[in-house]
Amino acid sequence: MLRYRVCKSFEVESGHMLSKHAGLCRFPHGHSRRIDVVFSAARLDSQDMVADFKALKLAMTPIVRAWDHAMAMNSADPMLGRMGADQRVVVFEGEDPTTEVMARAVYEHLSRELRSGKTYTDENGQTYRLPGPESDVRLERVRVTETSSSWAEYGE
């Protein structure tokens, strides 16, 4: 069956430390990350869309705000305790914040948001709604690009 697909992309500057890594990636380093989220539907909605791009942007706002200019770390990383209270740290429970783990975290967040059919309000008081569970809209995949030559995807 043919499906319509839309992609919304986001960019964040973030660092991470991979405590399980034997090489240099165990040390703090950063990336200019691109996050692509792909949704599909067999039919367009009453506005002739798969999903409103503004609703997708608003659904991603908590992730973008938390991850942008932050350090991602494993909760078991011994260096975590050395980070000051005023630092921007995103903690991944028991997992290194690899690109694969980050892609899954975004996928899980957006899946919950899509199932909820949540309504969002923007800075101007306008409301936008994600398609709810009654629609056939699917989150197909999330791709997180780490460098110009490396990315990870999670999804169908």
In sequence order, the β-bridge partners of residue 90 are 72
H helix or E strand, kind and range, residue 105? helix 99-116
> Mind listing the pLDDT tens digit for each residue in 81-126?
888 666 899 999 999 999 999 999 999 999 999 999 899 999 999 9
Tokens describing residue 46:
């009453």
User: Hey, what CATH topology would domain 4-135 get?
Assistant: Tetrahydropterin Synthase; Chain A (3.30.479)
Tokens describing residue 47:
């506005």
CA distances from 129 to 50, 55, 56, 97, 148 (A): 12, 6, 9, 30, 33
**Residue range 20-45: average pLDDT?**
96
Whose CA is closest to 97, among 35, 10, 8, 25? 25
**Which pLDDT score is estimated for 46?**
93
What 3-state class would DSSP assign to 20?
coil
pTM, 2 dp: 0.95
**Residue range 124-153: average pLDDT?**
95
**Which pLDDT score is estimated for 87?**
82
Whether 110 and 142 have beta carbons less than 8 Å apart is answered as: yes
Residues 6+ apart with CB under 8 A from 84: none
> Mind listing the pLDDT tens digit for each residue in 45-86?
999 999 999 999 999 999 999 999 999 999 999 989 888 666
Q: Where are the domains of the chain?
A: 4-135
**Which pLDDT score is estimated for 85?**
66
